[in-house]
Amino acid sequence: MSTRPELQAPPEIFYNDSEALKSLKYTSSSRIVEIQAKLSERALELLALPDDDVPRFLLYIGCGSGLSGETISEYGHQWIGLDISSSMVNVAVEREVEGDLLLGDMGQGLGLRAGVIDGAISISAVQVWVSSRNRPRKMQRTNKNGKRREWVLRKKEQSRRKGNDVPADSKYTARKRKSRF
Ligand SMILES: C[S@@+](CC[C@H](N)C(=O)[O-])C[C@H]1O[C@@H](n2cnc3c(N)ncnc32)[C@H](O)[C@@H]1O
């Protein structure tokens, strides 16, 4: 996970099967496991749960393969993991994590009644989601331009098949022009 995923594709596409396979390697790297454990311990510390040995019910947002879930379990808490990527959730299932797993998008609301959970943690999922929300226009424009180009290329091809004289395709095809040159 060296390049920021939010710059490449939506998470449910970025964390596809090949990424999940990478994640299997990721979960077997002792260095990454150690870093995740430290981050999770810090996240639990920040939750400032009462120090009374009572197990709490925590939501783990963007649980992926469930690495941080292990720390939550070690601290004696129960947890439920939410992730948008079915491939990543499958990795967590294969790893037989202790938490229950939900497939869903944190951006669509969690559907939990108030007071059901005692706290939530997220290791680099909420941060990624927030930063990608700050770039919606650019992503939409890319999609729109891609679709527009596809449409223009299809129309040009149809016109060529009818025997019309159609200019060759180039990198400028379907590019939006400014109102004045
Ligand atoms: C950097 S990985 C974290 C991996 C996790 N800590 C682990 O132990 O494998 C980020 C995770 O957040 C998930 N994610 C990204 N956007 C999400 C969203 N909108 N809703 C739910 N999960 C999301 C991704 O599918 C990915 O599994």
Residue 1 confidence class, pLDDT cut points 50, 70, 90: very low
What's the alpha-carbon Rg for the chain, to the nearest Å? Answer: 23
The architecture (CATH level 2) of 5-133 comes to: 3-Layer(aba) Sandwich (3.40)
Beta bridge partners of 21: none
State whether the beta carbon of 85 lies less than 6 angstroms from ligand 1.
Answer: yes
pLDDT tens digits along 103-116: 999 988 888 899 99
State pTM to two decimals. 0.70
* Mean pLDDT, the chain, whole residue set: 82
Decide whether any atom of ligand 1 lies within 6 Å of the 99 Cβ.
no
User: Per-residue pLDDT averaged across 55-64, rounded?
Assistant: 95
What pLDDT, in 10s, does the model give residues 146-181? 777 888 888 889 889 988 888 888 888 887 766 554
Alpha carbon dihedral 17, 11, 62, 29, in 10-degree steps, equals 50
pLDDT for 87 beyond 80: yes
Binding site membership of 40 for ligand 1 (Cβ less than 6 Å): no
Q: How confident is the model at residue 137 (pLDDT cuts 50, 70, 90)?
A: low
